[in-house]
Each structure stands twice: as structure tokens, then as C-alpha cells.
Amino acid sequence: MSPTEVATAERDPASELAAKRFTIPPYDVQVGPVGHLHRERARLAALEWEHFDARPLGATVGAELSGIALSGDLPDEAVAELRAALLAYKAVFFRDQPLSPADHVAFAHRFGELEVHPFIPANAEHPELVRFEKSADVGGYENAWHADVTWRECPSMGAVLHAIQVPPTGGDTLFCDMGAVYEGLDADTRARIDDLVAVHDFMQVFGHQVPDADKPAMRERYPTVEHPVVRTHPETGRRTLFVNRVFTSHIVGMDRDDSAALLDRLCRQADYPEYQCRFQWTPDAVAFWDNRAVQHYAASDYWPDVRIMERASIIGDRPS
């Protein structure tokens, strides 16, 4: 501090905000405590489990589970408890799980029927396993907040991602609690979007790889679908924001510019770290997330290193 400057503040300037969020003008950026998280954070902190231990990662999303092996014949009671943990934490993570492709498929299948992705290469022997093999020649483009395959009439219930080879640094995956995002919106915005419907379209991301001659047939097979902007989780009853920049085209009944502005504002809410957790991959780590409750973002900061992952996705319900 220079000799001409005098410290005059007698209290923290935040004391005048009464622990509320504050928008910094002229920007639509908020600062301040995200107070509504405390109830969910306290609920998760009080949970106890019989078949594994849990270490929460984020305030309301993510937990690393230990003391359980995912390969082999897990008892039904353990599978039921894993499902309960998935619903509670929205994303759960495991270390040191050397799964064979058959093990991976068998574990994911305990939670429902598995889908086959039409646009991403699969494991050579197990078409249910999408294979993400990144290198100097194939970069990572999954670094945008999204829920998987929302262009399907019935998007995935969840996904089980297994790390086969990871770079020495980088390549983390971030997860965002979209229920907390929705609850963090102001009342006027929630009222505005509660009954809106949005169009989702595979062409926004995968259209470039479909030859022009094949596009009519592919469009007939995978037409655009309409999902509510705010869906209700079919098992927890929680309301979650269900739009993303990757697959959401526009909001039905709105001018395209107004739709784009609203979607951008809604999608930007996932950028706040308070709603997130971050998982640092190690070889044979596994992430299992609830695609109805979270969005994810795969950091693409490891090029030209190699990152190889395989994912099994569990068929879900039609959002409502």
C-alpha cells in the first residue's frame, strides 16, 4: 500500500449482502454464497453404506466409493445399494477396477438394458461399449457441458466409463448437478421455463459424418425429438435443467434469437464450480453417472498424449 492510501473499511463489504447472490453489473455473472446447497450437502454427509465407503467430492455431486470390486458376481443387495448411491450422489467413482470388456458390460447390465451408439466406434467384441481413443491424430472434442444422447427419444439413464489408458496429466472429467442448477435460478426464470419444450437433434454434432446420400434415412431413423426444458427425475422426483448446447437446437414456440439467448443463459449456469465436482482419472478408474441428473465435461488439455476410455450406456426413459 502506498503512503497516500488509507485503510478505511471497518467490516467485510459482503456483510451488507446478507449472504445472498449478487450480480455484477453490467454482466450476467453472479458471486456470493450458493446457500441453497446446504440442505443437500448435509443430507449427503449423513449417508452411511453397508457394502462400501463413500468420500464426497463436491458439495452436492460426486463421491468416490471404495471397498467394493465391480467385477464378478456382485450380490443383489450390493447392486441395489450402488443404485441408491448413484441416485444420491448423481455420480460415483471407483479406483483400481481392472475390468475386462465382458466385466464392464456385465456390471453395467445389472442396472438395465444397454444401448449401442450409432455414431461413435465401439469395442471390437462388444458393440455396447463405445470406445474413445484419443491421440495426437484424434483430439478430444467432448469438452462442452452436455448430457449424453439427449437426441434420443429415450436418452441414457446412466453411463459407466472405464479408464483404459490415461495421460500423465490432464484429461479430467467434470460433472455438474443440474438439479442444483435449476434450484439456483431465480423464481421468475423458473416460472418462465417450467413448461417450455426444447428440440434436440443429433445433426448438430454427428451430422457432418453422415454422407449426404444417407442423411434422409438417418433422419428417418433418428428424427428430432422434443424434451421438457426442465425434467422431473423419475426416481427421485427432483426437477433438473435438461438443455445443453451440444444437442439442443431451440425452444419450441420462441423466436430463434430469443431461444438462443435463453438457452445460452441457462447453459451457462453449469459453469459455476459450486455446482460441480472434478474427477482425476487413474488407470482402471471407473465413473458411473446418472445422465438424468448431471451434465459432464471432458477436459481436452492432454493433446498429443493418449487417452483411451470405454463407456457402457444404460437405456433410460422418455423425459417428462
Q: What is the pTM of this model?
A: 0.94
pLDDT digits (tens, 9 = 90+) for 166-210: 999 999 999 999 999 999 999 999 999 999 999 999 999 998 888
* Mean confidence (pLDDT) of the chain: 94
Catalytic annotation, pick one of 117, 146, 233, 250: 146
Kindly compute the dihedral angle of the four CA atoms of residues 65, 66, 68, 71, in this order, to the nearest 10 degrees.
80
Catalytic annotation, pick one of 104, 148, 162, 231: 148
Q: The sheet that has 53-56: what strands, in order across it?
A: 53-56, 63-66, 91-94, 286-290, 156-165, 307-315, 129-134
Continuous H helices in 113-255: 178-184, 187-193, 203-206, 215-221
What average pLDDT score do residues 48-59 get?
97
- Secondary structure (DSSP) of 34-46: -GGGHHHHHHHHT
What's the pLDDT at 234? 98
Q: Residue 186 catalytic?
A: no
Q: Residue 311 catalytic?
A: yes
Catalytic annotation, pick one of 126, 200, 250, 311: 311
What average pLDDT score do residues 203-232 get?
92
Domains along the sequence of the chain with CATH: 20-315 (3.60.130.10)
Catalytic annotation, pick one of 233, 250, 296, 307: 296
Q: Are 230 and 191 in contact (CB under 8 A)?
A: no
Q: Residue 148 catalytic?
A: yes
What's the pLDDT at 1? 53
Query: Is 4's pLDDT higher than 80?
Result: no
For residues 57 and 11, give the distance between their C-alpha atoms in angstroms, rounded to a whole number.
33
